Amino acid sequence: MIWRTPTTMASRGQLLVLPLLLSLLASHSSLIQLSWAKTVSVSDTEQLMPEPRAYSPDAQHLDFVYHDHEELTRFLRATSARYPNLTALYSIGKSIQGRDLWVMVVSSSPYEHLVGKPDVKYVGNIHGNEPVGREMLLHLIQYFVTSYNTDQYVKWLLDNTRIHILPTMNPDGYAVSKEGTCDGGQGRYNARGFDLNRNFPDYFKQNNKRGQPETDAVKDWISKIQFVLSGSLHGGALVASYPYDNTPNSRICRSSALCAMFQTYSAGPSLTPDDDVFKHLSLVYARNHAKMSRGVACKSATPAFENGITNGAAWYPLTGGMQDYNYVWYGCMEITLEISCCKFPPAYELKKYWEDNQLSLIKFLAEAHRGVQGFVFDPAGMPIERASIKIKGRDVGFQTTKYGEFWRILLPGYYKVEVFAEGYAPREVEFVIVEQHPTLLNVTLQPSKYLLPASSASSSSPVVSQQQQQQRQVNGKLQFPPTD
Ligand SMILES: [Zn+2]
């Protein structure tokens, strides 16, 4: 089977040259520079890339069994020592009981950010008693490092993406959960009894739950790296679920059991302005999975999901979830992947779960290369950090990195982007997205002519100052002023 890659495969050298080229272009422009071009030419052979190969496990290094925290740590350390050019291991913090929250970066540039290359992530085991995702992520790491030189698709993905993998966000919960337990809450929570997927700040409701170390570590992590795309792995259902998880009308529904009962009354989808993209991302996972897109119910009493996807709130609303936080606060497109009907199935089934999920796990990450990517510069060609960006009509924004980079996953069509930065005149630029390759967009901002010293800025430059005030509102959430 042949897969047509949705992306342009820019080599590392080309990506490094890109900002320089763009800044040269920018320096010759007046007002705004719209430079969109194919990042590189794509040959027919590159477009017709074979599917990732099936992974033959190397039992000597990673067997299909559950790995406790010591074994998991040993595997990650051994892998990073054995593949120093493809991996980097770091910890984002510790659990309440002192277990490290390990993250493995897998990339051809594991230690340094290459300009123009998106960062993506997977988070496993946020619920301690749902460890299939934890094991899948270990096998994904193993697959990436062992097939980089033999699998063309994996080589392209690792050459153009920095993949951060947190196999377990809740190691303390895992430590008290039991293999073979398909339902129930034993091990779901952290060591203080908090559900970590109800522990994030919420866009719709005040979340009064005390912040936990595991949640704080993840919040800190995603504030430092601008992740473009993310998947959070769970168990207990078979579905890809997308934001929002919460809704302004969630009061009626306080637990998943209640919500299931009152679903037809309480729920309704709670859709984001990026609903088309979220549905697409969910379908990429479901359709590449061995059976998720069939939408068969796990049990007769549980819902069946058309095409194996659902809006989170339409299934059951929840407050304090991780995916809404990723999206609303940082513009990161995170979805929730429920990959096993049984939360903690027996180990002998793990190989089958890997076979079912391998292709989905890999192809989902490649979606970070769909849409628009680019840079925001000043007239001298210097990058503008923390410029606020919004795709018009999609009122959840995001910001440029310190290199002035931005990314946004978008489906083919015509769009306008709005760019704001302190001290610069806001700009609006039109661009086109096509299926075959990402659109490269270079935006140059001019200093605001009307900015006076701070004491008189509010009267002389209402547009900029109002925007800045509004952007600072609501706990640092990226909010944009309405422009039309
Ligand atoms: Zn879960």
Given 130, 338, 367, 405, which residue is catalytic? 338
Average pLDDT score over residue span 277-284: 98
Query: Is residue 37 in some structural domain?
Result: yes
Q: Which domain covers residue 397, as residue numbers?
A: 2-45+371-476
Same domain assignment for residues 29 and 155: no
pLDDT grade for 466, boundaries at 50, 70 and 90: very low
Same domain assignment for residues 354 and 340: yes
- Give the long-range contacts of residues 477-481, CB within 8 A, separation 24 or more: 477/203, 477/328, 477/329, 478/328, 478/329, 478/330, 478/331, 478/388, 478/396, 478/397, 478/398, 478/399, 479/397, 480/388, 480/390, 480/395, 480/397, 480/418, 480/420
For the entire predicted model, the pTM comes to 0.82
Ligand 1: centre distance to CA 251 (Å): 21
Q: How many folded domains does the chain comprise?
A: 2
Q: Which of 348, 369, 390 is the last residue of a domain?
A: 369
Say what the pLDDT of residue 48 is: 59
Ligand 1: centre distance to CA 234 (Å): 4
CA distance 269 to 267: 6
Tell me the pLDDT tens digit for each residue of 141-194. 999 999 999 999 999 999 999 999 999 999 999 999 999 999 999 999 999 999
Same domain assignment for residues 330 and 379: no
Q: Kindly report the CA angle at 230 between 36 and 131, in degrees rounded to 5?
A: 160
Q: Which of 329, 346, 369 is the last residue of a domain?
A: 369
Q: Is the CB of residue 294 less than 8 Å from the CB of residue 239? A: no
Same domain assignment for residues 77 and 11: no
Residue 367 has pLDDT above 60, yes or no: yes
Residue 11 has pLDDT above 90, yes or no: no
Same domain assignment for residues 205 and 308: yes
Average pLDDT score over residue span 10-31: 34
Residue 455 has pLDDT above 70, yes or no: no
Query: Is residue 63 in some structural domain?
Result: yes
Q: What is the mean pLDDT of the chain?
A: 83
Ligand 1: centre distance to CA 177 (Å): 13
CATH number at residue 245: 3.40.630.10
Tell me the pLDDT tens digit for each residue of 233-269. 999 999 999 999 999 875 544 555 555 554 444 568 9
Residue 247: how many CA atoms within 13 Å on its side-chain side?
A: 21
Same domain assignment for residues 357 and 450: no
Alpha carbon 288 to chain centroid, angstroms: 18
Say what the pLDDT of residue 35 is: 33
Average pLDDT score over residue span 330-347: 97
Say what the pLDDT of residue 447 is: 95
Lowest mean pLDDT among 64-68, 233-237, 377-381, 472-476: 472-476
Residue 12 has pLDDT above 90, yes or no: no
pLDDT higher for 266 or 378? 378
φ, ψ for residue 353, nearest 5 deg: -60, -40
CATH number at residue 426: 2.60.40.1120
Question: Is residue 130 among the annotated active site residues?
Answer: no
pLDDT higher for 126 or 301? 126
Ligand 1: centre distance to CA 115 (Å): 35
Same domain assignment for residues 94 and 211: yes
Query: Is residue 451 in some structural domain?
Result: yes
Ligand 1: centre distance to CA 148 (Å): 31
Ligand 1: centre distance to CA 25 (Å): 48
Q: Which of 332, 350, 369 is the last residue of a domain?
A: 369
Query: Is residue 179 in some structural domain?
Result: yes
407-426 residues labelled b (16+ CB within 10 A) or e (exposed): bbbbeeeebebbbbbeebbb
Query: Is residue 280 in some structural domain?
Result: yes
Ligand 1: centre distance to CA 239 (Å): 12
Ligand 1: centre distance to CA 127 (Å): 5
pLDDT higher for 467 or 239? 239
> Among candidates 10, 201, 199, 240, which has minimal Cα distance to 116?
10
Same domain assignment for residues 74 and 193: yes
Ligand 1: centre distance to CA 105 (Å): 24
Average pLDDT score over residue span 84-89: 97
Say what the pLDDT of residue 257 is: 55
Average pLDDT score over residue span 219-239: 97
pLDDT grade for 379, boundaries at 50, 70 and 90: very high
Say what the pLDDT of residue 51 is: 76
Query: Is residue 482 in some structural domain?
Result: no
Same domain assignment for residues 375 and 365: no
What are the distances in angstroms from CA 434 to CA 6, 44, 120, 369, 478? 9, 17, 22, 12, 27
Q: Is the CB of residue 233 less than 8 Å from the CB of residue 123? A: yes
Average pLDDT score over residue span 422-437: 96
Residue 5 has pLDDT above 90, yes or no: no
Q: Is the CB of residue 41 less than 8 Å from the CB of residue 10? A: no
Query: Is residue 166 in some structural domain?
Result: yes
Same domain assignment for residues 403 and 382: yes
Say what the pLDDT of residue 237 is: 97
CA distance 204 to 413: 30
Ligand 1: centre distance to CA 130 (Å): 6
Say what the pLDDT of residue 56 is: 63
Query: Is residue 484 in some structural domain?
Result: no
Same domain assignment for residues 358 and 470: no
Ligand 1: centre distance to CA 340 (Å): 10
Same domain assignment for residues 157 and 261: yes
